[in-house]
A = this chain, B = another copy of it.
Amino acid sequence: MDFVVRSRLCHRLGASPRYLVFHRPILALRGGRDFRTLSLMSSAPAPRKLVILAEGSFGPHSGKTAYGVIRYGRDEVIAVLDSTKAGQNVAAYLPDQDIPILATLDEALALAARPDALLLGIAPAGGRLPSSWRAVILAAIAAGLDVLSGLHTFIGDDPEFAAPAAARGTSIIDYRRPPEDLQITSGRRHGAGKRIILTVATDCAIGKMSVALELRRAAEAAGDRAVFVATGQTGMMIEGWGVAVDRLVSDFAQGTIEGLVEQGEGLGDWVIVEGQGSLDHPAYSSVTLALIHGATPDAMVMVHKPGLEEHDFDRLPGTSFPIASLSPFIALHEQIAGLVAPSQVVAVALNTSLIADESEARRVISEIAAETGLPADDPFRFGPDRMWSVIRERVDALPWVADR
């Protein structure tokens, strides 16, 4: 072996995924070597201790990555950095958590449980890192912390970061860096006994990843061998493997997703694929379709946020894009998916966070169930178990699953 793999995340996986996020750049693996041939999992490494940089943006929407990693990640979050909320605790936003929000990295480094990685939980507008963030990243490297990033701009390619990281022996992980091998769809059918579920939605950033993670949790609780397939950087930070689909070269997006799902099938029977974007999004619909046609899911779960009127997309004054009407949008998904392989929307997962009153939320859920003729629920607010049991039953009854 001419290389060393240090992976703290892969220990929990039953196989050695092709799309593992290695925690050091592994140059020896580049250029077409198949990751599947690796079997270098370390046996029981400690989880990471993270400090999350969320300067000026810790909150439910712009802090989506921070929220996701805190709620679902397996690594321990020691502190969040956001000087605009310094002195508060994450508990004020996510009740089950007890994590200090600090103004500076120095304060985080002074904590008893010293962090070993800085995770960038924000995306700079326009893609350029503000100089204050650069300084924090450099200080983290100097302190021996690894740097974990989901930005489109690769931190590891920036000599200002790469050189000191190499000198200090710390890692820079760019989750969005695409796999180097270029794959075109083969038209592969799913394995016997495997069921593939994809989350789709009426907008970005309303819960596709979280629904997938909640359903995986419920599936595991019910004794099902379930796997979450991460298709975005936050999901990858949580899960330790996957591919940031929005970073793939268009010609190879569907093929790479096909390979990713195949990998998921090797890890479980219920393969729950994280969706991206929405089919009607002016900027990202093609990423959504790549997932639908690349994953060829047996079933889809539609995620919807009642009360949201327009896409979160206001780049030009005077333009707005309304959220689709649910029933025809569901039918359209089935029709579009069916161009390549049959698929059915089997449930509607609602994000009722805009509805403060719980009984009103329940009323809206019933209304949407009646309107769509589908089981509907809010798996965050009311737990995912009931929804999982309904989905499970409906997926198993699909003719293309029953016949497999």
Contacts and interface: CB of A to CB of B under 8 A. Distances in A.
Interface of A: 127, 152, 182, 184-189, 245-251, 253-255, 279-287, 289-290, 293-294, 313, 315-316, 319, 321, 324, 332, 335-336, 339-340
A316 B253 contact: no
Contacts of A279: 336, 339
A145 to B, nearest CB: 28
A340 B320 CA distance: 10
A321 B296 CA distance: 13
Contacts of A188: 316, 319
A64 to B, nearest CB: 15
Given A182-B152, A249-B248, A254 B316 contact: no
Given A187-B315, A285-B340, 6 more contacts: A187-B321, A247-B249, A247-B251, A250-B253, A285-B290, A285-B293
B339 A280 contact: yes
Given A187-B313, A283-B185, A324 B339 contact: yes
A289 B292 CA distance: 12
Given A251-B247, A283-B254, A189 B339 contact: no
B293 A282 contact: yes
Contact of A319 (B187, B250, B283, B313): B187
Contacts of A182: 127, 152
B290 A286 contact: yes
Contacts of A283: 184-185, 251, 254-255
A390 B283 CA distance: 32
Contacts of A294: 286
